[in-house]
Amino acid sequence: MPAIRTCDSCNQEGHSRITSRLCPNNCRAATCTSCGNIDHRYTTHRDCPNNVANRMFFMLSLSYIVSKSNDNLSIYQKYIKSGCFWKVVDDIKSDIKLIEEKKNLETISKEIACRKGVDEGLEVILTQQLKLIKERRRLSSEYQMLQSFSCL
């Protein structure tokens, strides 16, 4: 996640004078290009605080698949060599507000984890993605999770 900048004029964290929007202290503040959130230096919605919940669900579901697939998380830590990824996964708290969405992700994850081969797992991923596309839910956390699984 990019570092939050400090405004040169008002010395308030989270403000930057490089765009045309004004911060509460009449300084210019960067704005998220998707949701219009002001006060933080995020240029994409993926890093915007409004999208953190979706990323938390994604991390939970991915860590669930990893642990269920091999019954040993440390083995997967050797293969996925992103210390940043594992730090984020370890920091996730269990106080999730949208329990129903978490259950949906776990259901999809279980179905993928039960497959014996890569081809069978990929078939389930692509089938679920197609279903979500037909329902016009490409921006859902379920679709984002499936998209990342297909890359793995």
Q: How far apart are CA 64 and CA 106, in angstroms?
A: 8
User: What residue ranges do the domains of the chain occupy?
Assistant: 1-47, 52-151
Residues 50-104 pLDDT 10s:
555 556 666 666 665 555 555 555 555 554 545 555 555 554 444 445 566 667 7
Residues 125-136 pLDDT 10s:
888 888 988 988
The pLDDT of residue 40 is 44
| pTM strictly above 0.85 | no
Q: How far apart are CA 98 and CA 138, in angstroms?
A: 18
Q: Which of 27-41, 72-86, 116-130 has the highest mean pLDDT?
A: 116-130
Query: How many Cβ atoms sit within 10 Å of the Cβ of residue 110?
Result: 12
> Facing residues of 22 across strands?
28
Q: Which of 142, 114, 120 is nearest to 129 (CA)?
A: 142
109: left (phi over 0), alpha (psi -120 to 50) or beta: alpha
Q: How far apart are CA 113 and CA 115, in angstroms?
A: 5
- Mean of pLDDT values over 34-46: 48
Q: Alpha carbon 79 to chain centroid distance?
A: 20
| Residues in CB range of 142: below 8 A, 6 or more apart | 101, 104, 105, 108, 128, 132
pLDDT at 41 over 50: no
